[in-house]
Amino acid sequence: MTDLRGKRAIVSGASRGIGRGVAIELAKAGAEVVVNFRSHSDEAQQVVEQCRQASGVAAHAICADFGSQQAVESLVEEAAERMGGIDIVVSNAVYSDRHLFLDSDLDEFRKTIDVSMWGAFYFVRAAGQRMVAAGNGGAMVVISSPHAHMAIPGAMAYNMAKAANDQMARTAACELSQHRIRVNIIHPGWTDTPGERKFFSEETLAAEGAKLPWGRLGKPEEIGRGAVFLCDSNNEYITGSTVTIDGGIQLPWREMYRINEEPDQ
């Protein structure tokens, strides 16, 4: 059984979606959790209550915009003060807008980079500085995406940011290993989150999810359980790794349709 009792975690972008799933699963494992949010304060408070009810742990909601270096650094400082330190960091906050790059609104393009790439860097850097100073080791998980290596059209800024996230995490894993701070990456597949409703209708999500190898979209709590696994000190030999939690979506599953076709008579 995973036991994170006594650990202090901070999860960015945790009021909804994957971040919410991660925060609640960390709390179930016994960790005290800071739930970061930007604009969904009511939902963030709901996550805090669910964390508290999960195993009686303390939980806190802290607002910070990941497009601002100062805001991210202040978030880390306040989280450390409230919990007395930081042992677990999960970088999840993102922004994404979709347009073909030739027609992109550059303000939206820059916002995606600022939040999804620079925000992740500011977060890992500020938290890492505190964790190194404390000298207690710890674990970081960067929620990245298959967009890091798949050139999804209409998502150039997000693709760029996620590719940078992967390199950031692997480099951090190398540099922080001497301090016994582990850094790993999760690549979620197509996950059922509020953010997907920005781009797809309910009908499309249901229909397309049914076509996937596992017959459905992923659930935020499934990504959360992966994060718990990576943060468990029993798994301290895992660092610089990428865990894919996608129900097989990166497998060559479309080829099965060709293989299963009836041959011509």
Catalytically annotated residues: 145, 158, 162
CA 142/CA 165 separation, integer angstroms: 7
Phi/psi of residue 136, nearest 5 degrees? -105, 10
